[in-house]
Amino acid sequence: MLNVHNARLQQQLDFLIEIDRLKTVLRQSQIANGSRRENTAEHSWHLAMFALVLAEHAAPKVDALHVIRLLLVHDIVEIDAGDAPIHTVGANSDAQLQAETAGAQRIFGLLPADQATTLRALWEEFEAAQTPEARFAKSLDRLQPVLLNLLNGGGTWTQNAVTLEQGLNRYGPTIERGAPSVWYAIKPLIEAHYRDVSQP
């Protein structure tokens, strides 16, 4: 541990060092070149760039910088709870939710109380998906692995024997709700992928 003579800065540094562990949380998706699995820290950076570049596809008046804030913070709880892959049963289980809530308590709790409240609220806003910003953030979080799977010959769809119908149901509603024009452009690519693999 690094000890500084400033109690508030100490808490901030403890948190910033703790979240370095997000670099060691592995997701199911491969990175675009297929060489290895993606980790959650680099995934979070990629999503923030998605928000910066695709902001015009969100609902009117969505605050893109707030979306970025949500995306930077949204997966930090995975340090304690791990990644919950979309194609497995446990993704939305009570056990997963409990582990994430406990993780939020512990990890954001490292910060000074005012900042712990602020960052936890960002995570809760993302999870609730009720604000236009959170809905757009959720749509990007669903979109990015679709692109990585398409670039990796099916990726997690192939690994988990996901059907076209299952795929459209697991990605479509969330992407369409937050970024409809992007969904209408991407859906045909998913359909084309499944046509290709069914006619080798």
Half-sphere exposure of 14 (CA within 13 A, CB side): 17
Residues 25-64 that bind its own copies (CB under 8 A): 31-33, 35, 38-39, 41-42, 44-46, 48-50, 52-54, 57
User: Whose Cβ is closer to its own copies: residue 95's or residue 189's?
Assistant: 189
Q: What is the separation, in whole angstroms, between the first and last Cα of the chain?
A: 55
CA 77 to chain centre: 11
Q: Does 91 bind its own copies (CB under 8 A)?
A: no
- Rounded Cα distance between 49 and 146, Å, is 16
- Quote the Cα angle for 84-92-139, to 5°: 75
Residues 62, 77, 107, 111: which binds its own copies (CB under 8 A)? 111
Positions touching its own copies (CB under 8 A) are 2-6, 9, 12-13, 15-17, 19-24, 31-33, 35, 38-39, 41-42, 44-46, 48-50, 52-54, 57, 65, 68-69, 72-73, 111, 115, 119, 147-148, 150-151, 181-182, 185-186, 188-189
